[in-house]
């Protein structure tokens, strides 16, 4: 089902009503006044720089900040305001917070002393040895710059290995901004609330849909979009097993964050792929090192041929990602030894800056710090998030306001208002999200001293103390009470019907 015209109109008129309410005008005025320098600086930047994260399409953060200092869980903006940071560099700084001393010191030792990139450096072997402690299921790695690079490289390796071209991905999965990744991606790129979801193909798949202008809709020989339905997905994989180069999956989808449904599906797909001899790729960009030392693969027992890592594999925000897995696949991008014999027989995923020395050093120092704490890190993080969840449950039963932290693992979630604890269908979850609440909570948290980018996301880990998270719960529950006082509709008309 799609949102009806009447429902869409009532959502539009709701937004119109809200924007004329005095408390909201006061909130916008307060935020504008407290960050006048940031507003002026980002206004100037907008003229000349499109790539800054605060100008990223689909995020559209309001009242963008210019951040001048960051330590642990704290950031300071150009106007001198301090915030507890829940964004943490899209989660990349969630392990230890900003600028952890041992990582900064280790990288400083390399600064000005290495070649930078384009040469072998001893830290590469140190990092690989350390990574093997975390993910012994990975035989071989290739280092790259971004999560997007890692999933693109996985696709290329799988295609090189099988000689086939079709890639299967699940509707709603997010694998970065390369062309195939930008199809049928998270619902906030397309689908609820602005566009209806695409239809079904005659064989029971999902119509391919590009989320971006400039990305042509993929050829059916290149992309198969699977529904989040085990029976149909397995049938489609079986039907196309001789054409499939790989099945690309997200270990725990941020746009369908209910592992009680997604993990059994992934396990079944992983087994089906093994039987069909189709490479199975597990994208652990969000989940690697976060669901426990071995990521979602080890935590849930999901076996893959290739794994993609990004986000916290890097340190200090210096770009680093990796694709790893069975040596037989990684070997396709490694020279046979004689340049001329590689021609026509090898692929390539390496680039000029990939695996640069500062990035490898920051990664090594950051993961070494995690390794030292690993007995306590995961139990402490879990306890902190459990405290947040308990306080929200108490709040819900006290007030009947359906405020939840929806997410997975111990480290990522988003605050929002949802009727149900869990949704068994991606589309009904997407259709239940209240995007106006996301927008308002983000700004109401900002007013209370908590920074999130454009959604009330909580990336957490060792970065936040229990006190930080206690204060955050107070801020978010106070915001919910304020919304309630102003008659805010927590559940939108037509919710759950997409």
Question: Which one among 18, 211, 286, 388 touches ligand PMP, defined by CB under 6 A?
Answer: 286
Q: Which helix (H) or strand (E) holds 52?
A: none
Please choose, out of 73-81, 145-153, 162-170, 270-278, the segment that lies near ligand PMP by the rule CB under 6 A: 145-153
Size of the site for ligand PMP (CB under 6 A): 13
| Footprint (CB under 6 A) of ligand PMP, residues 375-394 | none
Question: Which one among 229, 283, 305, 410 touches ligand PMP, defined by CB under 6 A?
Answer: 283
Q: With respect to ligand PMP, which residue has the nearer C-beta, 283 or 468?
A: 283
**Minimum distance from residue 136 beta carbon to ligand PMP (Å):** 22
DSSP line for 401-431? --EEEEEETTTEEEEEE-S-S--SSHHHHHT
Token code pair at residue 114: 């290495």
262 contacts ligand PMP (rule: CB under 6 A): no
According to DSSP, the β-strands at 166-170 and 223-226 are: parallel
Nearest-angstrom CA–CA distance, 129 and 152: 25
Residue closest to ligand PMP when measured from CB atoms: 147
310 contacts ligand PMP (rule: CB under 6 A): yes
250 contacts ligand PMP (rule: CB under 6 A): yes
- Cβ density class 91-125: b for 16+ within 10 Å, e for less: bbbbbbbbebeebeebbeebeeebeebeeebebbe
Please choose, out of 163-171, 174-182, 267-275, 407-415, the segment that lies near ligand PMP by the rule CB under 6 A: 174-182
Question: Which one among 151, 262, 361, 477 touches ligand PMP, defined by CB under 6 A?
Answer: 151
Q: With respect to ligand PMP, which residue has the nearer C-beta, 189 or 423?
A: 189
121 contacts ligand PMP (rule: CB under 6 A): no
Nearest-angstrom CA–CA distance, 254 and 258: 9
Beta bridge partners of 246: 167
Residue 30 neighbours by CB distance under 10 Å: 13
324 contacts ligand PMP (rule: CB under 6 A): no
Beta bridge partners of 459: 412
Nearest-angstrom CA–CA distance, 475 and 482: 10
Please choose, out of 34-42, 48-56, 79-87, 173-181, the segment that lies near ligand PMP by the rule CB under 6 A: 173-181
Q: Which helix (H) or strand (E) holds 253?
A: none
Question: Which one among 89, 176, 293, 409 touches ligand PMP, defined by CB under 6 A?
Answer: 176
Site residues (vs ligand PMP, CB under 6 A): 146-148, 151, 174-176, 250, 254, 283, 285-286, 310
């Amino acid at each position: 089902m799609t949102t009806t015209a009447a429902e869409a109109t009532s959502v539009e008129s709701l937004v119109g009503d809200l924007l004329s309410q005095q408390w909201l005008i006061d909130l916008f005025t307060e935020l504008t006044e407290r960050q006048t320098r940031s507003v002026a600086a980002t206004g100037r930047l907008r003229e000349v720089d499109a790539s800054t994260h605060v100008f990223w399409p689909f995020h559209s953060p309001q009242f963008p900040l210019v951040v001048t200092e960051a330590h642990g869980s704290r950031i300071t903006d150009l106007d001198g305001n301090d915030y507890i940071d829940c964004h943490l560099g899209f989660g990349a700084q969630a392990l230890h917070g900003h600028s952890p001393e041992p990582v900064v010191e280790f990288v400083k030792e390399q600064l000005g002393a290495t070649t930078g990139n384009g040469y072998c450096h001893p830290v590469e072997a140190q990092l690989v040895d350390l990574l093997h402690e975390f993910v012994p299921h990975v035989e071989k790695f290739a280092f790259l710059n971004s999560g997007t690079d890692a999933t693109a490289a996985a696709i290329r390796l799988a295609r090189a290995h099988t000689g086939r071209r079709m890639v299967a991905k699940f509707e709603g999965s997010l694998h970065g901004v390369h062309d195939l990744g930008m199809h049928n991606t998270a619902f906030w790129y397309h689908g609820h609330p602005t566009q209806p979801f695409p239809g079904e193909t005659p064989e029971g798949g999902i119509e391919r849909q590009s989320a971006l202008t400039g990305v042509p809709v993929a050829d059916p020989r290149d992309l198969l979009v699977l529904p989040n339905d085990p029976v149909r997905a397995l049938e489609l994989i079986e039907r196309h097993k001789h054409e499939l180069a790989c099945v690309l999956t997200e270990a725990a989808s941020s746009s369908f964050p209910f592992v009680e449904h997604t993990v059994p599906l992934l396990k079944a797909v992983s087994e089906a792929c093994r039987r069909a001899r189709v490479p199975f790729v597990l994208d652990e960009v969000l989940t690697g090192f976060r669901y426990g030392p071995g990521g979602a693969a080890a935590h849930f027992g999901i076996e893959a041929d290739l794994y993609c890592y990004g986000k916290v594999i890097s340190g200090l925000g210096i770009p680093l990602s990796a694709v790893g897995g069975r040596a037989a696949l990684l070997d396709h991008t490694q020279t046979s030894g004689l340049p001329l014999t590689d021609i026509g027989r090898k692929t390539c995923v390496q680039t000029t800056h990939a695996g640069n020395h500062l990035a490898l050093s920051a990664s090594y120092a950051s993961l070494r710090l995690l390794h030292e704490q690993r007995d306590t890190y995961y139990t402490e993080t879990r306890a902190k998030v459990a405290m947040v969840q308990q306080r929200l449950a108490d709040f819900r039963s006290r007030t009947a306001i359906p405020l939840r932290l929806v997410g997975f693992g111990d480290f990522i979630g988003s605050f929002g208002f949802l009727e149900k604890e869990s949704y068994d269908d991606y589309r009904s979850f997407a259709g239940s999200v209240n995007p106006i609440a996301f927008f308002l909570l983000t700004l109401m948290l900002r007013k209370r001293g908590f920074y999130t980018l454009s959604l009330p996301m909580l990336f957490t880990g060792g970065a936040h103390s229990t006190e930080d998270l206690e204060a955050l719960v107070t801020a978010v529950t106070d915001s919910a009470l304020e919304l309630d006082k102003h008659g805010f509709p927590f559940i939108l008309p037509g919710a759950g019907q997409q």
